[in-house]
Structure 1
Amino acid sequence: MSRAACSTLGTDSRTRRAHVAGDAEVHCARSNHQPAVSQALHSRQALFLLVASLLTPVSVMAGSLSVTPVRIELSSAQRSVALTVRNDGDQPTVVQAQLVAWSQVDNDDRLEPTTDILASPPIFTVAPGASQILRIALRLAPDAARERAYRVLVTEVPGKPEPESTGAQFALKISLPIFVDASGTKAAPQLEWSGTRTAKGELALSAVNTGAKHIKVQTIEVTRAGTDPDARFAGLWYILPGQRRTVTITPNDGHTIAAGRVQVKAETDAGPLAADVVLEQR
């Protein structure tokens, strides 16, 4: 189960994000008391927002929502799924669900409103300790050749603050991926790697997904042949079909990135991958 409670320290933060359960994305956003939904990015572990130096504590008012499942897969054979939204707080929580099309441009995620998928009900109230079924249904026929990607944004709609309250009010937003399988073929991801060793000795590693299905990269290790890893990247890294993503990886302490060729090993949701990558010099 994906579980997150909005918890924030500090006075300057507008939005906080964390990864939950490998797929979901959680945001704590400063509220303007309107049910507006802003763009979201990604997420992985339970939400713990820590500030090393705390100058002025802020009182936070937010519900506590959990959503399951945290990954949604639709197809021509399964055109709808049911999500369970639970309120573990002690106050009723108004929740809004919005569907967005998910694409990637210039090494970043782009979310745009869509009518391809329907959420029902789109807005609802969950009593303390209660649950609500949220149905996600496909309205547009799947693409024959390539997987499509969307996200559902499950957002807490904050009420008006109490008159005696002096703290900031934050809203919880959970962003869940939706993948719609291609209908005419068994789609699969395919990565092509390239890299550049920078003047600072870092590795700018790129991967192009030439396949017809997304891939989620979880960890990357960079090594010379038969040696311990010289660098390691850990984090959620989606690459949608036809897209390129680039990450800059810093060498481990006491290690350097090889000048000419490296071995890349990646753990992904499609299984482990390995490749020899010839590096360009910058």
Structure 2
Amino acid sequence: MKLTPNMLNLALAPILRGPIAIILLASGILSGAPMPAQAGVFSVTPVRIYMTPRDRAVAVTITNEGDAEVVLQADLNAWSQKPDGTDEQVPTEDLILSPPILKLAPNARQVVRLALLKPADASRQLIYRMIIREVPEAAPARDKTMQMPIALALSMPVFITPPPAKREINCQAAPGAAQALNVTCTNSGTAYAQVREILVKRGTQTLAKFEGGTYILPGARQIMSAKGEQALSPGPAQLNVGFDDGRVQTFDLTLP
């Protein structure tokens, strides 16, 4: 994925439950001083990292898409969710990115290695987030004007999955706002789930819909709002929950 300064409006609201998170770290952004922003342009592939217990390391490609030198560093966090779905990230030494800090010339590309330092769990998935962050104060000035340094960052999930680890999803629905259902999905399994779509259907008719990229980590639940174009009529219906791997799980429900 390519991250550009035009995406700063999205960066104001970090999206930690989607495939990636865009984070904005600005020095003096609330000061009101009219000064130009300084930010680099870089991309990272892949945007989601999958490993098995046999993998000692995986390759990650970082590309400077801009016309100025960029300095980047990596932060690694263990990622979990509370039972109510709130994200928690704690710095970890389970993983290491080599090198952890790199300097890229304009339009340069570098392959780095992400390695697991601890033994993988044989029964459950290990889940982390790797944040590649620009270090603007380490980059040379791009012109003689006074500039506000803005650090752009990409947050990528890292999943280390043994064969037995599986998601276990159960979903229920309750009336929400007008023309909507609150769909609560709980993951009692040992691997993550990511809900991409929810369809509330009666036969071939779609009554309500949710689209997103909501992560549900083991032991957590998430509430998603499926909205329809008109009031939902009572009676039996089906709840089709689609995941990022293309699979769909169906639940029967009765609309009140």
Does structure 2 conserve the Cα–Cα contact (< 8 Å) formed by 1:7 and 1:60?
no
Q: Distance in 1 between matches of 2:164 and 2:48?
A: 19
Pair 103,28 (structure 1): closer, same or farther in 2 beyond 3 Å: same
- Determine the structure 2 residue equivalent to 1:241: 218
Correspondence 1:90 to 2:86: no
Identity, % of aligned pairs?
32
> Equivalent of 1:71, from 42, 48, 51?
48
> Structure 1 unaligned runs (5+)?
34-55
> Equivalent of 2:76, from 99, 102, 108?
99
Q: Distance in 2 between matches of 1:261 and 1:59?
A: 57
Pair 32,142 (structure 1): closer, same or farther in 2 beyond 3 Å: farther
How far has the Cα of 1:59 moved from its partner?
3.2
Provide the secondary structure at the position in 2 that maps to 1:189: coil
Q: Distance in 1 between matches of 2:88 and 2:124?
A: 18
Scaled by the length of structure 1, what TM-score is found? Answer: 0.77
- Determine the structure 2 residue equivalent to 1:25: 21
Q: Distance in 1 between matches of 2:215 and 2:73?
A: 25
Pair 276,257 (structure 1): closer, same or farther in 2 beyond 3 Å: farther
Pair 226,173 (structure 1): closer, same or farther in 2 beyond 3 Å: same
- Map Cα deviations across residues 92-136 of structure 1 (whole Å, 9 max, x no partner): 111010100010112222111111111111112111111122211
Provide the secondary structure at the position in 2 that maps to 1:89: coil
Does structure 1 conserve the Cα–Cα contact (< 8 Å) formed by 2:53 and 2:121?
no
- Determine the structure 2 residue equivalent to 1:38: none
Pair 200,243 (structure 1): closer, same or farther in 2 beyond 3 Å: same
The alignment yields a C-alpha RMSD, in angstroms, of 2.8
Q: Distance in 2 between matches of 1:7 and 1:16?
A: 14
- Determine the structure 1 residue equivalent to 2:232: 257
Correspondence 1:173 to 2:150: no
> Equivalent of 2:167, from 189, 192, 201?
189
How far has the Cα of 1:66 moved from its partner?
0.7
Pair 71,238 (structure 1): closer, same or farther in 2 beyond 3 Å: same
Q: How does 1:24-173 map to 2 (within 5 A)?
A: 24-31=20-27, 59-105=36-82, 106-159=84-137, 164-165=145-146, 168-173=148-153
Greater RCO (Cα-Cα under 8 Å, separation 6 or more): 2
Q: How does 1:265-276 map to 2 (within 5 A)?
A: 265-276=240-251
Q: Distance in 2 between matches of 1:18 and 1:211?
A: 24
Give the number of equivalent residue pairs: 248
Does structure 2 conserve the Cα–Cα contact (< 8 Å) formed by 1:218 and 1:237?
yes
Correspondence 1:278 to 2:253: yes
Residue type of the alignment partner of 2:95:
I
Q: Distance in 2 between matches of 1:90 and 1:16?
A: 27
84-93 or 240-249, larger mean C-alpha shift: 240-249
Q: Distance in 2 between matches of 1:139 and 1:250?
A: 45
Q: Distance in 2 between matches of 1:262 and 1:164?
A: 62
How far has the Cα of 1:203 moved from its partner?
1.2
Q: Distance in 2 between matches of 1:8 and 1:69?
A: 19
